[in-house]
Amino acid sequence: MTNELIRSKLTEKFGEQLIGWEEPYGMLTFEVPTEMNLKVLQFLFDDPELKFQFLTDITAVHYPDNKGKEMAVVYHVHNLVDNVRIRFKVFTDINKPDVFSATALYSGANWMERETYDFFGVNFIGHPNLKRILNVDDMEYFPMRKEFPLEDQTRRDKDDEMFGR
């Protein structure tokens, strides 16, 4: 199975709605409109030739300078028969980071979506139990967003002279 075959089948089914086609390190990567994430996942799962029936990972990336599309939810799926992996991204506004849950299709999505919610604040619509999984329940922010400086630049103990430089 080749990336060209996968791309042609997806383009045949969804037309020009899928954009941003790339192949970093040979992995087919593309962008899907937010409201179509489940349709694309279902097609990749059900197609008898594609057979992407294993969900490797769901995560998110915060792009603070990408106004209106600050949050990207990233899906990695795997065809175990042909040993082929692909990735697609769904972009959403950080003020309303709503994405449809994939738990009905992949049961393993349950904890992945909870972790993505916990660290990035993505609201997975239809998730059966969307609550924090690793951080404390009363935490009022999402620690993986790039909203905070990495460290306090005024700290004296971080100066080079403290390390003999």
pLDDT of 148: 74
Query: Is residue 122 domain-resident?
Result: yes
| 103 token code pair | 């738990």
| Nearest CA-CA partner of 75 in 131, 48, 36, 46 | 36
Domain membership of residue 23 (yes or no) is yes
Burial 126-148 (b: 16+ CB within 10 A, else e): ebeebeebeeeeeeeebeebeee
122: domain range?
3-132
- pLDDT tens for each residue of the chain, 165 residues long: 999 999 999 999 999 999 999 999 999 999 999 999 999 999 999 999 999 999 999 999 999 999 999 999 999 999 999 999 999 999 999 999 999 999 999 999 999 999 999 999 999 999 999 999 999 989 888 989 998 776 666 766 666 666 666
Rounded-to-10 torsion of CA 56, 92, 104, 19: -60
> Is 149 within the bounds of a domain?
no
Give the Cα separation of 28 and 84 in Å (integer): 9
Q: Note whether residue 137 is domain-resident.
A: no
Domain assignment present for 19:
yes
pLDDT of residue 153: 66
* pLDDT at residue 104 in the model: 94
- Give domain status of residue 65, yes or no: yes
157 occurs within a structural domain:
no
Give domain status of residue 145, yes or no.
no
Dihedral (Cα; 37, 53, 43, 3), 10-degree rounding: 90
pLDDT at 147: 84
Q: How many residues does the chain have?
A: 165
Please answer whether residues 86 and 20 qualify as being in contact, where contact means their C-beta atoms are separated by less than 8 angstroms: no
Query: What pTM did the predictor assign?
Result: 0.87
Find out whether 70 and 122 touch, Cβ atoms under 8 Å. Answer: no
- CATH number of the domain where residue 83 is located: 3.30.460.80
The pair of structure tokens assigned to 68 is 């209106």
Other beta carbons within 10 angstroms of residue 103's beta carbon come to: 20
Q: How many domains does the chain have?
A: 1
